């Protein structure tokens, strides 16, 4: 399984949890790594992928949930536009 397939599989597994934000792929210690972004978690909830996922390393990062911004409002605040 490629790292992209593994990341998609992990996303499908985790999307049901309210603390889950998203999954990405990055580099950690020189290795391609699945990055799991969470708002919070309990150790018991993440034990199943602590040692990796489908042969790929996994790193957990705390993150907030992305929010949409009002780009028009932001643009009017910039004097050079």
Look at the pTM and tell me if it is higher than 0.95: no
Element (H, E) at 24: strand 20-28
Domain ranges (residues) in the chain: 3-76
Tokens coding 64: 């907030």
Give the residue carrying structure tokens 């996922």.
53
| Record: fold of 3-76 | Alpha-Beta Plaits (3.30.70)
Residue-wise pLDDT for 33-64, tens only, equals 999 998 887 766 667 777 899 999 999 888 76
Q: What's residue 81's pLDDT?
A: 44
Q: What's residue 50's pLDDT?
A: 74
CA dist 40 and 72 (Å) reads: 32
């Amino acid at each position: 399984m490629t790292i992209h397939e593994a990341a998609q599989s992990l996303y499908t597994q985790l999307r049901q949890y309210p603390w889950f934000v998203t999954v990405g792929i990055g580099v950690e210690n020189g290795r391609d790594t699945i990055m799991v972004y969470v708002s919070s978690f309990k150790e018991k909830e993440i034990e199943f992928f602590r040692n990796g996922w489908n042969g790929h390393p996994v790193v957990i990062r705390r993150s907030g949930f992305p929010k949409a911004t009002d780009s028009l409002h932001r643009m009017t605040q910039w004097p050079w536009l």
